[in-house]
Amino acid sequence: MNVKLWILAILTVLLIAAGIYLKTPAPGKYDGDAIRQTALSYDTRIIRDNWGVAHIFGKTDPDTSFGLGYSHAEDDWETIQATIMTSRGVSSQYFGTKKNLMDLESPIADYMFDLFKVREAVDAKIDTEVSREARAMAKAYADGLNLWAVENKSRVKPGILPMTDKDVIAGYTWATPFFFRMDEELKTIFADGDAPPLGPYNSSGNQWQLPAAVLGSNAFAVAPSRSNDGHTRLIVNSHQPMVGPYAWFEAHVVSEEGLNLAGGGFPGTPILAQGVTPTHGWAHTVNRPDLIDFYKLETDKEKNPKQYKLDGEWVDFEITKSNFRVKLLGPFSLPISKDMRWSEHGPVLETDSGYYALRFAGLQEVKALDQWYAMSKATSLDDWKTILKQNGVLSFNVIYADKDGNIGSLYNAKMPNRQEGPDWLGIVPGDTSALIWEGYRSVDELPQLYNPESGWLFSANSSPFFITEDGYNNSRSDYPESFGIEKRMTNRAMQARLLLSADPSISQEELLTYRRDGQYNEDSIILNLARDISAMEFEDERLREAQKIARDWDGSTEVESRGTAIMVLTAMHMGGYEYIEDLMPLDEAFAKAVDEIMEVYGRLDPPWGEVNRMRRGDVDMPLRGGPDTLRAIYGDYKGFVENKGLSAAAGDTHIMVADWDENGNLTLDTIHQFGAATLDENSPHYDDQAPLFARGEYKRMPMTLKEVLPLATRDYSPGH
């Protein structure tokens, strides 16, 4: 045999071997008939109203969860599918090295999924820490997704089916650290620009992905003693991205077992995370307690260490492998195997400056579904307080109101039981076991306030010690420093306190006016920046002209305001979406804003409504409000020139206004920033609520079958 044939034979063998090695394993088979048969076990009726909102009626609570999964898949399948990929740790197999639809770096996300032992945690805890009732809700939701998927196979990626209750629980467990902004916390140990880009809000290349400021929210509760008509009112006003995995899906679920909840949920969640029932309602706003600690480890070797020092002795790392596949071309993917380390503290991260262990209160948490499910079925204030003691929801402020006139607030957190003294906000020494905290503080030890004599409460992502009138708040000195409770006051918080404190008898219209207030407070960061600009010396004539506009600006974000554009754009260039970063000097930011405004509008003082826009489908309308105003609107300032202004991308999204009259009867109004069809551009509900949202208006939410039926546009029972 000649040499060429030998070489060809060897190459052929190598190519075959490489093909076998790189061939992505075939997905497991599923039984479509079994999925359809399972669907027959649910007694579910979905009625779409004139706005396309799904009202889901069932005999049992799981019947409604089944319908929620099915209807959610109808409106947002691609996002849900991406959520399932990440909750299995297989994003790279579908997206390669690119970001997945949740805007996560796929290989890093899959490695961190393995490092955090999400799959192991769910397998170990689902039978012992998740109630039978909550697990039934998760299974029903997955069954609803499965039915829709087998009916729409062309839109389903290979290997996705069947989805299970474990996928649903894993979605919560995996997402919790990043909803809490663990990616921001990682900057503590990584050099600038070196932190793994994990979170769904830190992509500079995607205008929809905005930073932590967007994870804000407002909530208002007014008791009968402070309302002008003896009513109790609650406003649920979450601030989220307008599209993507953390954009709200609005729905209404009703069962014969007592569930009747209108509210919002996220892709992959089998229960609505906040909402209103005929008897009570609640809103979440993001808080920032200190729930994460980093420990600097001393290791036996600088590279590939096997041990770390603890209490004067060398201790072996627990070393395992993260194994996943990264998509190449066609049916081929590259197998990846990477070491993972755990210490007594928790998972270990390698950085340029050494090895750090992470201890996080929300790591491997599986109980959130149980608590949210119980919250939806509370029957009294005492019942509500007992439910919150479950402490399954990692964090979030909770603002509450009910038909009996009760209002309340909890600074909720799964607070680590730390010893006092160490600087827990910094890097903690990892060589002593005494600093490895165990367990959590009770909910009774957290800041909370029920039925204050002031008659009102609010939350706007600021200090929990300034949430009502002076004299009725909790005192910071009563709580340990180790809680790490934030001290900042947002502009929204300052304005809410100013407006509500001055009103002795708050009507519904006044409360709604306060909710959509677009004014910057006199003590706000942005008005202080305007004063700083007024004191500067500029040689350029155009900058001096712009300086006069800034000097005359009154902090308004009304659509006709002429000074808002130049100051908001300046402030965002300098300090990001809440004006608190250190991106560039003020004079440079001001000059950049001036240049951009002139390039787009040809004048320095365009009306704010020409700049700040609601753009969705055929809708292109002016918006009042701006970053960190009570009418919170965040646009893509980095793409200002390309987009010809600011297109709303986050902030005010799904809003609910609950009103219980003096007899405890509920009237509920809501609005979604776009509409029920979150992805279908051909649906009339893709943008039908956008004009109402832009005008600050609401739609009435029917809460009974009798009220829903006259509004029905579709009426169907999935699987039957």
Specify the DSSP element, H or E, that contains 106.
helix 106-115
**Does the residue 397 lie in any domain?**
no
**Does the residue 18 lie in any domain?**
no
For residues 338 and 321, the answer to whether their CB atoms sit within 8 Å is yes
| Nearest CA-CA partner of 701 in 657, 664, 662 | 657
Q: Which tens digits make up the pLDDT trace of 233-258?
A: 999 999 988 988 888 999 999 999 99
Prior bond of 627 cis (ω within 30°)? no
CB 31: neighbour CB atoms within 10 A?
12
Q: In 394-465, where does DSSP find H-type helix?
A: none
pLDDT band at 202 (very low <50, low <70, confident <90, very high): very low
pLDDT band at 581 (very low <50, low <70, confident <90, very high): confident
**Does the residue 565 lie in any domain?**
yes
**Does the residue 601 lie in any domain?**
yes
**Does the residue 130 lie in any domain?**
no
Bigger pLDDT: 199 or 30? Answer: 30
Q: Is the dihedral of CA 120, 122, 125, 126 positive or negative?
A: negative
| Nearest CA-CA partner of 488 in 524, 518, 441, 458 | 524
Q: What CA–CA distance (Å, rounded) separates 453 from 225?
A: 8
Look at residue 195 and tell me whether its pLDDT is greater than 80: no
Instruction: Read off the pLDDT of each residue in 676-689 and give the average, rounded to a whole number.
Output: 91
- Exposure string over 493-532, b if 16+ CB within 10 A, otherwise e: bbbbbebbeebeebebebbbebbbbbbbbeebbbbebbee
Q: Which three-class secondary structure state does DSSP give residue 522?
A: coil
pLDDT band at 277 (very low <50, low <70, confident <90, very high): very high
Instruction: Read off the pLDDT of each residue in 357-385 and give the average, rounded to a whole number.
Output: 94
Bigger pLDDT: 418 or 182? Answer: 418
Q: What CA–CA distance (Å, rounded) separates 494 from 461?
A: 11
Look at residue 170 and tell me whether its pLDDT is greater than 90: yes
Q: State the pLDDT at residue 328.
A: 86
Q: State the pLDDT at residue 525.
A: 96
Q: Which tens digits make up the pLDDT trace of 636-652?
A: 899 999 999 999 999 99
pTM listed for this prediction:
0.93
Q: Which tens digits make up the pLDDT trace of 106-147?
A: 888 899 899 999 999 999 999 999 999 999 999 999 999 999
Q: State the pLDDT at residue 209.
A: 41
Q: State the pLDDT at residue 416.
A: 97
pLDDT band at 574 (very low <50, low <70, confident <90, very high): very high
Number of domains in the chain: 1
**pLDDT mean across residues, the chain:** 91
For residues 653 and 238, the answer to whether their CB atoms sit within 8 Å is yes
**Does the residue 559 lie in any domain?**
yes
**Does the residue 545 lie in any domain?**
yes
Q: What CA–CA distance (Å, rounded) separates 162 from 168?
A: 12
Residue that has been written with the tokens 């740790």 in this structure = 89
Q: Which tens digits make up the pLDDT trace of 514-566?
A: 999 999 999 999 999 999 999 999 999 999 999 999 999 999 999 999 999 99
For residues 115 and 364, the answer to whether their CB atoms sit within 8 Å is no
Instruction: Read off the pLDDT of each residue in 69-85 and give the average, rounded to a whole number.
Output: 94
pLDDT band at 200 (very low <50, low <70, confident <90, very high): very low
Distance from CA of residue 688 to its chain's centroid? Answer: 24
pLDDT band at 27 (very low <50, low <70, confident <90, very high): confident
Instruction: Say which DSSP state 393 is in.
Output: S
Specify the DSSP element, H or E, that contains 514.
helix 508-515
Portion of the chain with pLDDT greater than 70, in percent: 91
For residues 110 and 92, the answer to whether their CB atoms sit within 8 Å is yes
Q: Which of 202-206, 378-382, 408-412 has the lowest mean pLDDT?
A: 202-206
Q: State the pLDDT at residue 159.
A: 94
| Nearest CA-CA partner of 67 in 78, 56, 59 | 56
Residue that has been written with the tokens 């003693």 in this structure = 225
How many residues does this entry show for the chain?
A: 720
For residues 463 and 443, the answer to whether their CB atoms sit within 8 Å is no
**Residue 554 is part of which domain span?**
525-629
**Does the residue 3 lie in any domain?**
no
Q: State the pLDDT at residue 666.
A: 98
Q: What CA–CA distance (Å, rounded) separates 431 from 311?
A: 6
| Nearest CA-CA partner of 221 in 20, 408, 10 | 408
For residues 135 and 367, the answer to whether their CB atoms sit within 8 Å is no
Specify the DSSP element, H or E, that contains 695.
helix 690-695
Instruction: Read off the pLDDT of each residue in 378-396 and give the average, rounded to a whole number.
Output: 95
pLDDT band at 213 (very low <50, low <70, confident <90, very high): very low
pLDDT band at 201 (very low <50, low <70, confident <90, very high): very low
Q: Which tens digits make up the pLDDT trace of 583-612?
A: 999 999 999 999 999 999 999 999 999 999
CATH number at residue 561: 1.10.1400.10
